């Protein structure tokens, strides 16, 4: 069974070889990522769209290892006059469960829950369930995958996609779910629930421990972006500091030269032509395309079957010396720029179909590109959350003298312009002028978010690290059993989430973090059992005192 899903995960990873495949990755490219998403769809066969209400909707086509189950949720948890509901999808692994064991739930985050099933099979959920006789669960996030409560993705339809509603979904699920084939009541707080999430879902895991501490006995927040911000230039800074420095030097020199050439109007078109983008009208669109290879950094993983090698391949191209320098006007085009152009032309520009113009493929100024609100345009989901509550618009460094690996033409105005274009005011809801990051996210603790039985796990080379409690801007804290604070050297994005069928085959640093996670979770569960015994003793003592009082009164 495990081999089947491991192969499925490998195949899925191969399908995600494009470095911009992750929704969180998409933020690096801003509006340009929507173009790349649309180009991906053009290259694929039309998908069969299944929605709730369709007779075929409930037919699960996943391998039978884990069967999809469904839990009814209110569309709006906070307005009791509304009666709309939807079905939230989840999957269960009971291969390790024994009565008295905990529930280990993994938050699906901003993607289809099907993409998280490998973690139920060989990853962190299976690791913890195996160590604790626990029940493993993957819970799909509202609006993602098939947990879709609406028939379109207009601004009004998306207004229930927010932090508070999503957290209430999880709390309602934990307090009231019934698992098929298990007679025992495993709801919280009677059963300890350990809530795991990575990236955006990592922040949700931390938020669940703060918002619903009685239900969420413990939480593990991996690469958890507990700090939301409108401008997030630090993403690129992590890449600049951690990527191979010979590669970084060539990226920097290329971007600086590109910016200088673009200052000369008559050289703009021939420069763009070197990258296969001669007819791309706007300079900021052009330099946004040049950011595409940087997205590959986040896609790296310790397991080659899962991770992308796109960044390494880009650097290999960039560092090649086969190209001879050339001249463009008064400028000498060095090997770095010409190799950069070769990579963009081969792996990005070439994706534009012959029946499309370059402007149609890579231009971002046409409002019509953002107008389709059908359910098939799933790019609208995470970006709605970005535009309303999370931010993370990735610009050039605010200090013009700071070294940079993206063009100075990448401004907040440019990277955020898709928000008003994609989500015009509706009848019931309008997006804010800028994301309300402090109200929606940072008010829950920000960099200093902490609680007993809440663990943070981060990678030192993760471009999201500056938005986590391990950030350069965060207060220093200790690593304890009650409040674990783990850092994986040179790791990127939630590298502890996936695992191998044989843990001995994992790299030492991954094997060690998994062992540490098992250690502190089992220690937490001992506290639950002890507190449960204390509660039982207290109840017996109260019953005894009540009996004694009745005897005295009688």
115 and 257 both lie in a single domain? no
Three-state DSSP class for residue 504: helix
Q: Are residues 212 and 251 in the same domain?
A: no
Same-domain status, 518 and 500: yes
Same domain, yes or no, for 117 and 200?
yes
First to last CA, the chain: 65
Q: How far apart (Å, rounded) are the C-alpha atoms in residues 296 and 309?
A: 7
Which residues span the domain enclosing 253? Answer: 230-422
Structural tokens at position 518: 């098992």
Give the β-pairing of 85-93 and 135-139: antiparallel
Residues 291 and 416 in one domain: yes
Q: Provide the pLDDT for residue 8.
A: 37
Among 110, 164, 99, residue whose Cα is nearest residue 133: 99
Instruction: Kindly report the pTM of this predicted structure.
Output: 0.90
Q: How would you class 547 by CB atoms within 10 Å of its CB: exposed for 0-12, middle for 13-18, buried for 19 or more?
A: exposed
Q: Is residue 554 part of a domain?
A: no
Residues with Cβ within 8 Å of 524's Cβ and at least 6 positions away in sequence, in order, are 192, 194, 217, 218, 453
The single residue of 26, 107, 462, 496 carrying the catalytic annotation is 462
What whole-number distance in Å separates Cα of residue 380 and Cα of residue 153?
A: 7
Q: Which of 199, 222, 407, 416 is catalytic?
A: 199
| Annotated catalytic residue 334 | no
Per-residue confidence in pLDDT tens, the chain, 554 aa: 444 343 333 333 333 334 435 677 778 888 999 999 999 988 874 433 334 444 333 334 444 689 999 999 999 999 989 999 999 999 999 999 999 999 999 999 999 999 999 999 999 999 999 999 999 999 999 999 999 999 999 999 999 999 999 999 999 999 999 999 999 999 999 999 999 999 999 999 999 999 999 999 999 999 999 999 999 999 999 999 999 999 999 999 999 999 999 999 999 999 999 999 999 999 999 999 999 999 999 999 999 988 899 999 999 999 998 768 899 999 999 999 999 999 999 999 999 999 999 999 999 999 999 999 999 999 999 999 999 999 999 999 999 999 999 999 999 999 999 999 999 999 999 999 999 999 999 999 999 999 999 999 999 999 999 999 999 999 999 999 999 999 999 999 999 999 999 999 999 999 999 999 999 999 999 988 756 545 544 444 555 555 555 544 44
Number of domains in the chain: 2
Q: Give the three-state DSSP class for 333.
A: strand
Together in a domain, 215 and 116: yes
378 and 315 inside one domain: yes
Please tell me the distance from the alpha carbon of residue 141 to that of residue 466, in angstroms, as a whole number: 25
Same domain, 388 and 446: no
Same domain, 132 and 240: no
Read off the pLDDT of residues 120-148 as tens digits, 9 standing for 90 and up. Answer: 999 999 999 999 999 999 999 999 999 99
Within a domain: 453: yes
**247 and 284 fall within a common domain:** yes
- The DSSP result for 458-500, as a single string, is EETT-TTGGGSTTSTTSPP----SSS-EEEETT--SSTTS---
Q: What is the CATH number of the domain that holds 115?
A: 3.40.50.1820
In a shared domain, residues 381 and 464: no
Q: Length of the chain in residues, anyone? A: 554
CA-CA distance, 152 to 293, in Å (whole number)? Answer: 32
Q: Is residue 58 part of a domain?
A: no
Residues 114 and 89 both lie in one domain: yes
Two tokens, residue 368 = 């019509």
Annotated active-site residue 438? The verdict is: no
């Amino acid at each position: 069974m495990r081999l089947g899903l491991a192969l499925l995960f490998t195949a899925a990873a191969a399908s995600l070889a494009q470095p911009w495949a992750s929704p969180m990755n998409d933020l690096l490219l801003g509006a340009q990522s929507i173009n790349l998403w649309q180009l991906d769809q053009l290259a694929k066969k039309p998908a069969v769209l299944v929605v709730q209400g369709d007779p075929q909707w409930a037919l699960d086509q996943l391998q039978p290892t884990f069967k999809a189950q469904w839990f009814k949720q209110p569309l709006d948890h906070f307005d009791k006059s509304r009666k709309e509901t939807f079905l939230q999808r989840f999957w269960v692994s009971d291969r390790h469960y024994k009565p008295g064991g905990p529930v280990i739930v993994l938050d699906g985050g901003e993607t289809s829950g099907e993409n998280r099933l490998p973690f139920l099979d060989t990853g962190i959920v299976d690791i913890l369930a195996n160590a604790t006789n626990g029940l493993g669960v993957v819970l799909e996030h509202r609006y993602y995958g098939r947990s879709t409560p609406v028939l379109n993705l207009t601004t009004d339809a998306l207004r229930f996609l927010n932090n508070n509603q999503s957290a209430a979904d999880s709390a309602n699920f934990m307090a009231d779910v019934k698992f098929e084939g298990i007679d025992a009541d495993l709801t919280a707080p009677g059963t300890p629930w350990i809530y795991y999430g990575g990236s955006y879902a990592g922040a949700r895991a931390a938020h669940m421990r703060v918002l619903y501490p009685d239900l969420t006995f413990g939480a593990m927040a991996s690469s958890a972006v507990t700090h939301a911000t409108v401008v997030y230039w630090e993403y690129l800074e992590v890449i600049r500091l951690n990527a191979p420095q010979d590669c970084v030097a060539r990226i920097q020199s290329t971007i600086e030269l590109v910016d200088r050439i673009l200052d000369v109007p008559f050289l703009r078109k021939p420069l763009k032509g070197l990258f296969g983008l001669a007819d791309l009208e706007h300079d900021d669109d052009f330099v946004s395309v040049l950011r595409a290879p940087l997205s590959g950094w986040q896609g790296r993983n310790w397991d080659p079957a899962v991770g992308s090698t796109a960044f390494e391949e880009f650097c290999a191209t960039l560092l090649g010396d086969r190209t001879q320098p050339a001249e463009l006007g008064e400028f000498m085009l060095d090997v770095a720029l010409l190799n950069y152009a070769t990579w963009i032309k081969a792996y990005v520009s070439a994706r534009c179909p012959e029946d499309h113009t370059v402007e149609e493929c890579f231009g971002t100024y046409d409002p019509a590109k953002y107008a389709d609100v059908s359910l098939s345009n799933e790019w609208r989901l995470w970006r709605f959350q970005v535009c309303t509550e999370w931010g993370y618009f990735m610009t050039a460094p605010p200090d013009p003298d700071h070294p940079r690996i993206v063009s100075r033409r990448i401004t907040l105005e440019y990277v955020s312009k898709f928000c008003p274009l994609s989500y015009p005011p509706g009848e019931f809801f309008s997006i804010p002028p800028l994301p309300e990051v402090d109200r929606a996210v940072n008010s829950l603790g920000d960099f200093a978010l902490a609680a007993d039985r809440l663990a943070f796990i981060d990678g030192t080379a993760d471009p999201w690290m500056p938005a986590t409690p391990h950030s350069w801007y965060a207060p220093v804290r200790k690593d304890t059993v009650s409040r674990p604070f783990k850092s994986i050297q040179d790791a990127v994005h939630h590298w502890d989430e996936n695992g191998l069928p044989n843990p001995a085959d994992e790299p030492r640093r991954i094997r060690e973090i998994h062992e540490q996670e098992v250690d502190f979770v089992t220690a937490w569960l001992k506290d639950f059992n002890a507190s449960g015994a204390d509660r039982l003793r207290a109840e017996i003592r109260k019953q005894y005192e009540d009996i004694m009082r009745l005897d005295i009164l009688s």
